[in-house]
A and B are shown apart, each in its own frame.
Chain A
Amino acid sequence: METLKKELKSIEEFNVISDLFSQAITGELIGMSNFASLAETIDDYLEKIEAVEHANSERMHAEAFLGYAEKHGLNVNINLEGEYWRTVREHFLFYAKKRDFIACLFIQEVILESFAVSMYRDVGNALGGEAKKLFLEISAEEQEHLEHSSDILKAEFKKDPIAFLAKIEEVHFKCMTILAQFSATTDLRGHCGICNGDCMKGSLHHVGLKIETMRGNALALYAQALDNIGIPGEKSIIWIAQLPA
């Protein structure tokens, strides 16, 4: 438990790292719950099995982050009822109840995974050492989820482009708005309910991170994910430009 604390230069650094792990664990648990709910929306048994596997994979990610946090005595706070994560989960459940597999897939595997893949990469590279290995490995696994969804969504887009675009636009504005508010330089919906004390975004520099860069990289990956699905750039630029910042 003392190993990391000795390596840390300051209490601020310890607090930021604790908050980063709190966010990662909470996000993984939300992902786990979402994949479990997603399995309910699927008729194809093979896809259903895959959704449960993904839920299990998110559980293992949460446990891996939790294991690291415990080993290093981090002050983690897991709160699935925090403002942003709870709202994202509510939007997901709204579509899950409608058995809208495509909307659920888009929320979990495109929106949330884009942010997870990108932000884990940034955090891992900033923290270095054992934490880097952990974040980058999990980022790579989340990348697979992102890629898995692309082919399904692309095929769905081809079936009925107009209906697909209308649905994705609606989901984008519901869920990306939450993540855009969450990743803005100041919390646009108030405190996240997860960070210990004040919002960690103002303290990220203690570990060599900047929220503007993390948000920019995540948005870039999200935009690329939209491109991979085949959503026209003239459409996605409007979607991105209309997000809160």
Chain B
Amino acid sequence: MDSTTTSLDFAVIGHQDSWDNIHGFVNGLRTSSQGELSLEKVKSIFPFIPPRELFRVEVNSITGKKINGVYIDTFIEPDKLDPRHLRANISKVQAALSTAKKLGARIVALGGFTSIVLEGNLVEYTSDETKFTTGNTLTTAYIVNGLIKAANQYNVKIEDSELLIIGATGDIGSACVQYFKNKCKKLLLCARNKRRLHALSERLATEGIKNESSTSLAELLYKADLIVCVASSSGLAFTKCKENVIICDAGYPKNLDTKIENNYRQIFHGGMGQVSEGFVFSPDYTDSFYQYPAPYVIHGCILEAMILAFANKYEAYSYGKGNITLERIAEIYKLGLKHGINIAPFYNSKGLCT
């Protein structure tokens, strides 16, 4: 670690989800005399910038404790998240991990797409001083608790409902399956990988869990009373849903409300949490980062690292695929509450849900 840096409680590795955000961010850094850069010019420079820390974050707990962290951007292009660019993107994530280590971060959350390197064991993630977590356990906790809360709000009984999980074989999707398998009438499982989906369905059937699976969303969508989407939403074709379905949109990017007909009871962006005592960015880039309809809202995966830092629990809490346990979902959720961190108010791209 460089002598000019101080040890950090946590680091967050992420990427931007739209060129509009990036364009706004870059021009926000320029002075009026330097003038604005066109989107085309920003696109010709941004992807070449090596991963680096963009701002410091101070987070407050209801206990009075404060922790310090940093946000590291990978500079992955938002329209290059598909498998064709996997190798280049992984190399950017690796460089970001090195930056986090160099800065002396004690725990690092890999947000959004970047968690793929931990889920797929694609890089060496163990280190004596720096621990890495995908943050998927807390994201799962916020998804499942959010869905229960929404169902209660609308007097929908989960035990009488058919629950569709889109992305059921992924790390978070399979954790949601484990959580709800004994709680709902029937599980509807959708995933892109036919072999993994079939294996999951068979395994549940041997446990006596009623389920139906398909790689075709259209075959399951119209039957669902509740939907959790934890898959990439690009290429997802939404046909007609059941009247008054409740949807937890926890995929990437969260844009299902722009894709489906307006016959849902509620659609909310899931997996998100809120820090009651707030956080401060330095420099203050709140105009460009984490803009949500409610204050201090942030992704569950990022909050997991913050909660672990508050709890002095520096460990690779979420790693690999299929390792999320019900005990850990309950534990991390409870730890968050202790520091005033809870599920975010329900919102979607139109604003706060009423």
Contact = CB atoms under 8 A, between A and B. Distances in A.
A234 interface: yes
B52 A236 contact: yes
A175 B55 CA distance: 26
Interface string B1-30: 011110000000000000000000010011
Interface in A155-172: 157-158, 161
Contacts of A230: 2, 4-5
Nearest to A239: B29
A220 B48 contact: yes
A230 B2 CA distance: 7
A158 B47 CA distance: 30
Interface in B221-255: none
Given A212-B44, A219-B48, A242-B34, A234 B53 contact: yes
Given A157-B4, A230-B2, A245-B37, A216 B48 contact: yes
A234 B11 CA distance: 14
Contacts of B4: 157-158, 161, 230, 232
A46 interface: no
On chain B, which size bracket covers the interface?
20 to 34
The listed residue with most A CB atoms (<10 A of its CB), out of B48, B53, B55, B72, is: B48
Contacts of A216: 44-45, 47-48
Given A223-B50, A232-B53, A245 B99 contact: no
Interface in B275-330: 283
A209 interface: no
Contact of B3 (A158, A220, A227, A242): A158
Interface string A213-231: 0011101100110010010
B235 to A, nearest CB: 29
Given A238-B29, A245-B37, A233 B54 contact: yes
On chain A, which size bracket covers the interface?
20 to 34
Given A158-B4, A230-B4, A242-B29, A220 B49 contact: yes
B56 interface: yes
B44 to A, nearest CB: 4
B3 A237 contact: no
A244 B56 CA distance: 26
A245 B53 CA distance: 22
B48 A241 contact: no
Contact of B55 (A161, A223, A234): A234
B195 interface: no
Interface of B: 2-5, 26, 29-31, 34, 37, 41, 44-45, 47-50, 52-56, 72, 99, 283
Given A219-B45, A219-B49, 19 more contacts: A158-B4, A216-B48, A217-B48, A219-B48, A227-B52, A230-B5, A232-B4, A232-B5, A233-B54, A233-B99, A234-B54, A234-B283, A236-B52, A237-B29, A237-B52, A241-B29, A241-B30, A242-B30, A245-B45
Interface of A: 154, 157-158, 161, 185, 212, 215-217, 219-220, 223-224, 227, 230, 232-234, 236-238, 240-242, 244-245
29 contacts: A158-B3, A215-B44, A216-B45, A219-B45, A219-B48, A219-B49, A220-B50, A223-B50, A224-B50, A227-B52, A227-B99, A230-B2, A230-B4, A230-B5, A232-B4, A234-B53, A234-B54, A234-B55, A234-B283, A236-B52, A237-B29, A237-B49, A237-B52, A240-B45, A242-B29, A242-B30, A242-B31, A245-B37, A245-B41
